[in-house]
Amino acid sequence: MSAAGYNKTCKSFNLGAGVAGLQAVAIARKLGAVVEVFDVRSAVKEEVKSLGGKFIEVEGAQEEASAGGYAVEQTEEFRKKQLQLYRIMHKNTDVIICTAQIPGKKAPILFQKIPLDQMKAGSL
């Protein structure tokens, strides 16, 4: 609320909840944003919640104990489920932060041009 009136709360959607992703959640929450987070690792759910974020899950994610807590490459079927989630989430989101990474590999491309074109004007 300001002298000019009420400002709508910013909605942030974070992809990845590693060190950088959790830091992004903490900063966005400190600035007053409503934060939703997606990560393929269910182990980070409690960490996201402890920072005030809402954890979004998609069934079918692969996790390997031998990966040492890091994300692993996902199947094509799971990637399709991910894209469905992104198509729903991006329409009502003001900020999308992508910190997803697979150690030793090129970072995954999580968004395609089509959903980004459908975001609200002024979104990041």
Residue 123 lies in a domain: no
Residue 99 placed within a domain: yes
Q: What is the pLDDT of residue 73?
A: 65
Q: Is residue 122 part of a domain?
A: no
Number of domains in the chain: 1
Note whether residue 1 is domain-resident: no
Q: Is residue 65 situated within a structural domain?
A: yes
Domain encompassing residue 61: 11-117
pLDDT single digits (tens) 65-93? 555 555 656 677 777 777 777 777 778 88
Residue 5 domain-assigned (yes or no)? no
pTM of the model: 0.76
Q: What stretches of the chain adopt beta strand conformation (E)?
A: 11-15, 34-38, 54-56, 95-98
Q: Which amino acid is at 84?
A: Q
Q: What is the CATH number of the domain that holds 22?
A: 3.40.50.720
State mean pLDDT over 89-102. 83
Strand order in the sheet with 11-15: 54-56, 34-38, 11-15, 95-98
CA nearest to 87, candidates 121, 114, 60: 114
114 or 58, higher pLDDT: 58
What are 6-62's pLDDT values in tens digits? 667 899 999 888 888 999 999 999 999 999 998 887 788 899 999 999 998 877 666
Best CA proximity match to 38, nearest among 51, 28, 48: 48
Q: Does the residue 3 lie in any domain?
A: no
Whether 4 maps to a domain, the answer reads: no
Shortest CA distance to 35 belongs to which of 102, 89, 91, 111? 89
